[in-house]
Amino acid sequence: MTIAAIPIVYGIPNCDTVKKARAWLTGRGIAHEFHDFKKQGVPAERLPAWMQAVGWEKLLNRQGTTWRKLDADTQAGAQDATGAATLMQQQSSVIKRPVVEWPHGRITVGFSADAWAEYAQACKH
């Protein structure tokens, strides 16, 4: 696995949490790359690493509008890691955002200013 020199933020540009996270990074002078799920899709080669790092249950956002709009059969198909991975590949909006790959290999999901302050130290050269 190649580890990026700057954080890579994966998400959807109009997501409020993604906007907040990107603004937080920019406000601290931390360069980052943004990967837009809507334009670039979910990177199939990265999804297993995310699931291993944070657990598929945390990565799959069952609280969001997209999940609630899914039919019962589709939801039932995402009750294990394999089914969840398939759904996340097909519908990126069910992935909790943002997913961030930090320098030195840490992977986080969601935004927490307190936790990110620690991770951001690795970004300062």
User: Is residue 42 within 8 Å of residue 93, measured between CB atoms?
Assistant: no
Between CA 102 and CA 53 the distance in angstroms is 12
Q: What does the DSSP 8-state code read for residue 64?
A: S
Widest distance between CA atoms in the chain: 49
Full strand arrangement of the beta sheet holding 8-11 = 33-36, 8-11, 99-101, 107-109
- For the annotated catalytic residues, the residue numbers are 15
